Structure 1
Amino acid sequence: MEETISLQDLFKTLKKRLALIIVMTILAVTISGVVSFLLLTPVYQSSTQILVNQEKTDATNFNSQEIQANLQLINTYNVIIKSPAILTLVIEELDLDTTTGALTEQITVNNAENSQVVNITVQDPDPKRAVDIANMTAEVFQTEIKNLMKVDNVSVLTPAILSDNPSPVKPNPMLNMAIGAVIGLMLGVGIAFLLEYLDTTVKNEQNVEDVLNLPVLGLISVISDKDLKSTKLEVTSRRKRA
């Protein structure tokens, strides 16, 4: 019985503060939308692929040992690509107003499991610059790896290309607004229960019993204006008859 009453009180509180919850939700969605569309800088992404293979020989086919050796080199290459030895030259070639540390944060290097293809992904507020950085990083790495490791087993497989209508990868306004709606809803519900908890006014006979720990012996009914007028007319009529 106690759980049923608690559940009823829960729904009564939500119903009572429904307007507050709705306002908080709408406010949170509006704020997240304004921030996403007007304040956050769009970031574009571009990728290029390089292929790690064996140095050219007279043999036309690669055996499994050669492929395995290339796969072991890829982890080393992933580190070298984002090293100052490569990125410093990229900055100089493109005349970028940035540092190697900042550029490192913009570049992601990875490859699929057991794949000799390395993906170089660049994110930048300028879509053309993202393409230029991705392509230049691949070109500089292809050239410098010959001097750094005395090998010639890297070739550009797929260069980055600037599309006609590039779309930013972030922010995602719809996702941000959905998250804002959830946060606003949770905040509204939390404030509703907080206000209900802080409200110590006596509203009904049950509150009186809870506060005084005494049984209620009687109630005074609320007299509406209509009933009050009827009572006055009846009293006046009786006086006239008397």
Structure 2
Amino acid sequence: MELYQYLVNKYGYDEPILTEQLKEELNLNPNTLRQYIKRLSDKGLLTKVQNGIYFIPKKKPMFGSAVLDTDLVIRKKFLEDRDRIIGYKSGTNFANALGLTSQTAAVATIVTNNASAAKREVNIYKKRFIIRKSRVSVNKSNYKLLQVLDLLTNYEQYSEKPLEAVEENILAYLGDVSMSVREVKEYLSAYPTKTKLRVYELGLFDAIARRERVIH
């Protein structure tokens, strides 16, 4: 029960618990942790989402098993690692959030550091997600820029509007991004030529360069 109380204090109820992170936090042998988790699961104190992902249900449903919000699982496993950002939402749904399209995708796309392959599909309960490996390491400082660079790389696929019509939307989204020209060039080097040309066409590079001079 000591582990259970630790989990309640650390994670609370209805929050994803990743056994991989838990193993690091407690410095436990994987087999020992697996036994502890199984005991708690057998007692109904922990509910399994899928291998390596559990949660403590706040309420037991009258029928069936307790389920966890899939967005919480995605956030914990692919978007945030404790206090670090490790991924971002991409594709059609990101374009929709920027006002570039009225379309939405039933299968959301996530780009993350925590990907074992260039592209794979994961299922959480019955909801599908496309998981892509990031071109460069994602962090709190660069994720917005990388979102935009991904968008520009496949712009025709995601947007219903010409590039010049959405310039203000994109620049506004990047309004709080503070980055040096050297860093932007480094990230751009991971993208194709057409992406770089669109960055210059948008005035994105010049905007960041001006921002760098103001900061310094």
Tell me whether the two structures share a fold, i.e. TM-score over 0.5: no
Q: Which has the higher strand share?
A: 2
TM bracket (short chain): under 0.3
Larger radius of gyration: 1
- Structure 2 length-normalised TM: 0.19
Of structures 1 and 2, the one scoring higher in RCO (CA 8 A, sep 6+) is 1
